[in-house]
Amino acid sequence: MVPMIAMQIDAPGRPLRRVERPVPRPSPHDLLVRVAACGVCRTDLHVLDGEIPARYPIVPGHEIVGHVMEAGAAVTGFAVGQRVGIPWLGHTCGTCPYCRAGQENLCDHPQFTGATRDGGYATHVAADAQYCFALPDRFSDAEAAPLLCAGLIGWRALRLAGEGRRIGLYGFGAAAHILAQVAVWQGREVYAFTREGDEDGQAFARSLGCVWAGGSTESPPALLDAALIFAPVGALVPLALKAVCKGGRVVCAGIHMSDIPGFPYADLWGERQILSVANLTREDGTSFLEVAADANVRTVIETFPLEDANDALDRLRSGALKGAAVLVPQS
């Protein structure tokens, strides 16, 4: 049988290495999926750098679009040949207090695709069918990939931001370029904050309907109702707090951030809130995929051959990408 090809992280801090191994056998609850595209997420850099819990060696990648090759004996609801999306949330226990309270994103015993179980930087992947999604037809494979983390965890962050009209987005990459379109479609005013002097990024944000774009240390022309921080930079938290109105929220949407510097209590005063977003629930996924289709979201992507995963990660790290990087295995 033709082997599976994967780009694997052997240990934190090492570049990904191309490996060949047998195609995985799906367990009774799994789908075996032939990967058509896999998005590159900042979380993959945190796995590479050893900044979040993961097992090694690991095949990263949790924005997976592919087609079902085989379904385990206990799987229902998916057919061979069907296109599916595989997200970050790979499995939950179903019995811990969080799972029982409908907060499976906070499960005490979770598995995460591309961190604790092998992900989509590969030609094949096995995934628990109960955590896979059907995908709207209107997106191509590569266009759909960034929806599966940048889009849907961004959507969770936007919902936690509340119903306010003025929304700030700090870090205008894969997630923000999708969420800006959703928030504009909802009738909100979107303010984009980029790295200082990133005029291309600011023009990109305005082209997607943002009413204002500037550097992250600039004050927006009006106080914001909420700010979402997608960049992994703790120093943005006090800056965003200064940009939100009384009662406003600062939502930290990344899985890892550098330390947050101290700031005067007066900047938090006025019932301002800071909160983090952890993972996703399956309901976040199904509701977001509907919204993405209704809002006619257009993902801006740059595709790379699977074997060029290290280049794609380098470009993400240096801020050289416009939109989202997507790996495509050669057939």
Q: Which chain residues interact with Zn ion by CB under 5 A?
A: 41, 43, 92-93, 96, 99, 107, 149
Q: Give the up-direction half-sphere exposure of residue 13: CA atoms within 13 A in the CB hemisphere.
A: 0
Phi, psi of 245 (to 5 degrees): -80, 175
- The nearest distance, CB 142 to Zn ion, in angstroms, is 16
Q: Which is nearer to Zn ion, 106 or 211 (CB)?
A: 106
Nearer to Zn ion, 4 or 255 (CB): 255
Beta carbons within 10 angstroms of residue 111's beta carbon: 16
Distances (CA, A) of 96 to 115, 271, 284, 310, 318: 21, 32, 20, 37, 39
Burial code (b: 16+ CB inside 10 Å, e: under 16) for 81-102 equals ebbbbbbbbbbbeeebebbeee
Q: Residue 5 or residue 149: which is nearer to Zn ion going by CB?
A: 149
**φ/ψ (deg, to 5) at 168:** -100, 140
Q: Euclidean distance between the first and final Cα of the chain, in Å?
A: 15
Please report how close the Cβ of residue 43 comes to Zn ion at its closest, in angstroms: 4
What are the counts of helices (DSSP H) followed by strands (DSSP E) for the chain? 9, 17
Tell me which amino acid residue 43 is: T
SS3 category, 260: coil
Residue number, 43 or 194, with CB nearest to Zn ion:
43
| Residue 108 vs 311, nearer CB to Zn ion | 108
Question: Residue 244 or 277: which CB sits closer to Zn ion?
Answer: 277
Contact by Cβ (8 Å): 192, 171: no
Minimum gap (Å) between residue 243 Cβ and Zn ion: 25
State in angstroms the smallest separation of the CB of 148 from Zn ion.
8
Give residue 105's identity as a one-letter amino acid code.
N
Query: Closest distance between Zn ion and the C-beta of residue 254, in Å?
Result: 9
**Cβ of residue 41: shortest distance to Zn ion, in angstroms?**
3
CB of 230 to Zn ion, least distance (A): 11
- Cβ proximity to Zn ion: between 147 and 239 the closer is 147
